[in-house]
């Protein structure tokens, strides 16, 4: 059984999707910890409701030290770290200890609308502003860059001329809930190998 930690900053709907997929039997894994960088993140409430161990690391207080605190909590305890709407940028020793064992979901089709400052609703606002006809979400491995690691899964949605950023966000979010659990399943099944930027076995 794959042991995972889920890192959240907000409502935790992707965390809930993972919990639901574990309970349905789709995922053969256990959530050993949920960590938030915001004390009022609803994702923490979702975890507590399922008796999952929770940790709050205030990013305003810890700053760049948040990665080392996460490492202290998770080193030797989990096989995979899942970033599910986690806003703090991971860096340092954590990335080396968990090399190719950290995944993130981004609400756009990387390499579009990603990188520094591109998160949450800002991503969808930029997609609408640019006039793209499709958008979607990307699950990727985390490396030293921002949204720059090898891509595991991408899901595509149509973008309509009448869409607001909120409309697009809701449509993409439905695909996020599928994509993140699919990526976890591929990893837990041992199907994935990485060659350069290419993720094989999907």
Token pair 């089709």 in the structure block, residue:
109
- What's the topology of domain 104-202? Rossmann fold (3.40.50)
CATH classification for the domain delimited by 1-98, as one of 3.30.200.20, 3.30.2290.10, 1.10.3720.10, 3.40.50.170: 3.40.50.170
Query: Are 1-98 and 104-202 the same fold in CATH?
Result: yes
Q: Is the pLDDT of residue 134 over 90?
A: yes
Phi then psi for 130, rounded to 5 degrees? -75, -25
pLDDT one-digit tens code per residue, 18-68: 999 999 999 999 999 999 999 999 999 999 999 999 999 998 889 889 999
Which tokens in the block code for residue 91?
Answer: 């860096």
How far is residue 15's CA from residue 133's CA, in Å, rounded to a whole number?
29
Domain boundaries, the chain: 1-98, 104-202
User: Which positions are catalytic?
Assistant: 106
Find how far residue 100's CA is from the centre of its chain. Answer: 14
pLDDT one-digit tens code per residue, 68-108: 999 999 999 999 999 999 999 999 999 999 999 999 999 99
Residue 141 banded pLDDT, cuts 50, 70, 90:
very high
Percent of the chain having pLDDT more than 90? 95
């Amino acid at each position: 059984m794959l042991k995972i930690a889920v890192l959240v900053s907000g409502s935790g709907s992707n965390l809930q999707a993972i919990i639901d997929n574990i309970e349905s039997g789709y995922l053969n894994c256990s959530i050993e910890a949920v960590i938030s960088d915001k004390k009022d993140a609803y994702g923490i409430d979702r975890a507590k409701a399922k008796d999952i161990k929770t940790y709050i690391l205030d990013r305003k207080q810890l700053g760049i030290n948040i990665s080392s605190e996460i490492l202290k909590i998770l080193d030797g305890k989990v096989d995979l770290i899942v970033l599910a709407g986690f806003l703090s940028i991971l860096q340092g020793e954590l990335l080396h200890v968990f090399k190719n064992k950290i995944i993130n979901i981004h609400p756009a089709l990387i390499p579009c609308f990603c990188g520094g400052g591109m998160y949450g609703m800002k991503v969808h606002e930029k997609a609408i502003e640019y006039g793209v006809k499709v958008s979607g979400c990307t699950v990727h491995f985390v490396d030293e860059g921002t949204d720059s690691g090898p891509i595991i899964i991408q899901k595509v949605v149509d973008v309509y001329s009448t869409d607001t950023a909120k409309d697009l966000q809701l449509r993409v979010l439905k695909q996020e809930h599928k994509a993140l659990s699919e990526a976890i399943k591929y990893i837990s099944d041992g199907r994935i190998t990485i060659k350069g930027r290419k993720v094989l076995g999907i």
